[in-house]
Amino acid sequence: MDDILLMLPGPTTVAPRVLKATSDNIVNHRSAIFGEIFTETTELMSEIFKTKNQSYLITGSGTSAMEAAIANILNPNDKILNVVGGKFGQRFMHIANEMGADTQELTVEWGDAVSPEQIKEALDKDENIKAVTVVHNETSTGVSAPIEEIAKVMKNYDALFIVDAVSSLGGDRVEVDKFGIDICVTGSQKCLAAPPGMAAITLSEDAWKVIDKVDSKTYYLDMKKYKKAGSGTPPETPYTPSVSLIYALAEALKIIKEEGLENRIARHEQAAKATRNAIKALNLELFPKEEVSSTTVTAVKMPKGITDSDFRGTMRNKYKVELAGGQDHLKGNIFRIGHMGNISYKQLAITFSAMEMTLKGLGFNIDMGASLAAVNEAYL
C-alpha cells in the first residue's frame, strides 16, 4: 500500500510527523489539555484562512462544512445564487435545495470559470439574493475561480459571499478578510495534507448577523452551538470531536506554518506549471482553458484511443502511481493529476516517467523524456 504514489486531488499523502501525531493517546475532549490543543489548532486555521475571525472545526469531510455554511443562514424560500461549473458547485446547490432554499443557478461551462461580471449581472437582476456560493477551485474540472475579483463585486451588495476553498486553502491564495469572504470552508485531506475526516469553517461578523436571526436547519452543524462551545473555558466542540484527527490536523498546520504559506503557494504554482508543461510536451490536451486552470489539480483530456481503465489502470497497477478519473459526464473523458499538499519535483518526475511508459506501452508514439524535460525546466 505504501508504495502507491497518490497524485490525487484529495486525499493526499501526509507527512510521517502527521501520522505519528495520531498515535498519541486520547484525552478528555472537555479538559484543559484538549482545550489547549483545540485553541492552537483553530488559531492556526484562522491564520491560514487569513482571518481575524474565529475558525470552527467540524468532525466530518469537507461537505459537512459546505452544509454548515448553507444550513445556518437560510430561512425557507430564501434566494441563493449558486455558481455551478462542476461537481462541487452543483453540490452546493443541491445542499441549498435540500435546505429549502430558492436556488438560482448561474451555469458556467465545465472547464471555464465564472466571471465577476456574470455575478454582478445576476445580483443586479434580483435584489433578494441572500447569498452567493462560489467554489474557488473546482476540483472536478481543474478550474480556479477569480474569487478576489468576485469579492470586489460582492462588496456592493448585501448578499453573503460563501466560498468553498476545500481544494485550494493551503495551496492557492485565499485571503478571507482582505478579499471580504463571509463564509469560507475547507477540508483536511486536500492541500492541508492531513488525514481525511475534519473540516473547518470561518464566519464573518456579517455572516453572524444573519445566522443569529435564522433557525438553523441542522442539529449537528448548528454553528451557534459551535460558537458557544468554542468560547467556553476550556474551549470545546458541542459534540465529541475526532480527537486523533485534530492531533493530526494540528501537526499538518504547524508544517504549513514552518514552510510558510507564501512559499507553499509558490510551490503549488510551480508544480502546476511543471504539470501543464509536461502534459503539453506529451501532446496531450488540458481540459480547462489554461488561463483559468487550477494551481492544485490539472485536468487532462483522455488521449483518443485508450480507455480510462487502460490508462489509469496501468499507471496504478504497473507503475504504482494513482491518478484521479473524471466525474459524472467527464468519467472516462478526462483524468486528473492532483499536485496538492506535499507534492514537488520528486513526485512529478515519477508521475511523468510512469505516464510516458504507460502511453508508450499502450501504443502511443511517445518522445520518451519529453515530459520529464518539461518538469525539469520548471524546477531548474
Return residues touching ligand PLP (CB under 6 A).
9-10, 61-63, 88, 135, 137, 139, 164, 166-167, 187, 190
Q: In angstroms, rounded to a whole number, what is the distance separating the alpha carbons of residues 380 and 371?
A: 14
For residue 377, the tally of other CB atoms under 10 A from its CB is: 13
Axis-axis angle for helices 243-259, 32-49 (nearest 10): 40
Residue 61 or 371 having the CB closest to ligand PLP: 61
Closest distance between ligand PLP and the C-beta of residue 70, in Å? Answer: 13
Q: In angstroms, rounded to a whole number, what is the distance separating the alpha carbons of residues 52 and 159?
A: 21
Residue 122 or 184 having the CB closest to ligand PLP: 184
Closest distance between ligand PLP and the C-beta of residue 110, in Å? Answer: 13
For residue 49, give the DSSP letter.
Answer: H
Closest distance between ligand PLP and the C-beta of residue 133, in Å? Answer: 11
Q: Taking CB positions, which residue lies at the least distance from ligand PLP?
A: 62
For residue 64, the tally of other CB atoms under 10 A from its CB is: 20
Residue 135 or 278 having the CB closest to ligand PLP: 135
For residue 73, the tally of other CB atoms under 10 A from its CB is: 28
Closest distance between ligand PLP and the C-beta of residue 232, in Å? Answer: 28
Closest distance between ligand PLP and the C-beta of residue 364, in Å? Answer: 30
Closest distance between ligand PLP and the C-beta of residue 380, in Å? Answer: 31
Residue 183 near residue 201, CB atoms below 8 Å: yes
**SS3 category, 16:** helix
Residue 10 or 241 having the CB closest to ligand PLP: 10
**SS3 category, 308:** helix
Residue 35 or 86 having the CB closest to ligand PLP: 86
Residue 173 or 190 having the CB closest to ligand PLP: 190
Residue 271 or 372 having the CB closest to ligand PLP: 271
Closest distance between ligand PLP and the C-beta of residue 146, in Å? Answer: 16
In angstroms, the Cα distances linking 31 to 111, 232, 248 are 48, 11, 18
In angstroms, the Cα distances linking 181 to 114, 140, 146, 149, 164 are 17, 22, 13, 11, 10
Cell 497518490 locates to: 6
